[in-house]
Amino acid sequence: MTGSGFRDRHDAGRRLAEELREYAGRKDTIVLALPRGGVPVAYEVARALGAPLDVFVVRKLGVPGHEEFAMGAIASGGTRVLDEHTIHSLGIPRGEVERITRDERRELERRDAVYRGNRPFPKLMGKTVIVVDDGLATGATMRAAVVALRQHEPAAVIAAAPVGARATCAALKWTANDCVCAVCPEPFYGVGLWYDDFAQTTDEEVQELLEMARGPRRPERPNGTTSFATA
């Protein structure tokens, strides 16, 4: 870590893993990454906890002309979460919301096929699911993921990110069973500002990390020295 931020997503994942150490070595735990940026973070979390890693595809619905600002999100399985306050206050036509939803759903389906291939979606019933992203600004993407994952009847859903807006992290505790952030700065100006390297994660990197994660797993500290797990 440099200062109060992170060197890159891998560094951020190792820091986040420290906050999630209570889940290390538990057979009922699975880590799901929100691609693409959440995958390098989640890879380090899963590696440290000794948990399996998979992806859960969610797409942000960006405000027209200001796509980085979310007015909602969609997730695998058809779930959609809309920020009706934002849509109404900005006067975004309903037809435009539906158009953007259709466009993002095509990309969601493409990514699902690229990242998962023929692998079935993991069974989540009765499990503790840790959903990881690289940061939480409005929380719309994470909320969509949590709502969608509830349909799989997990025992608990934990939202997790290295950095998040304080109000967003607090609000997510009403949707998820818990929300864990390594850093909740105030004021919060944006996720990317807390990373020295916030370069876009590629599809190839996602595929590579998922393949590496399918190898033998054992819980270890993020620095690779001592196991989190207890006998």
Helix (H) or strand (E) holding 206: helix 203-213
Identity of residue 179: C
pTM for this one? 0.82
Question: Nearest-5° angle of CA 38, CA 36, CA 120?
Answer: 95
- Residue 41 has a pLDDT of 98
Sign of CA dihedral 201, 203, 204, 210: positive
Task: State the Cα–Cα distance between residues 179 and 158, nearest whole angstrom.
Answer: 6
pLDDT value at 224 more than 50: no
pLDDT in tens, 66-90: 887 889 888 887 778 888 999 999 9
Domains and CATH numbers, the chain: 9-212 (3.40.50.2020)
* pLDDT per position as a tens digit, 12-48: 999 999 999 999 999 999 999 999 999 999 999 999 9
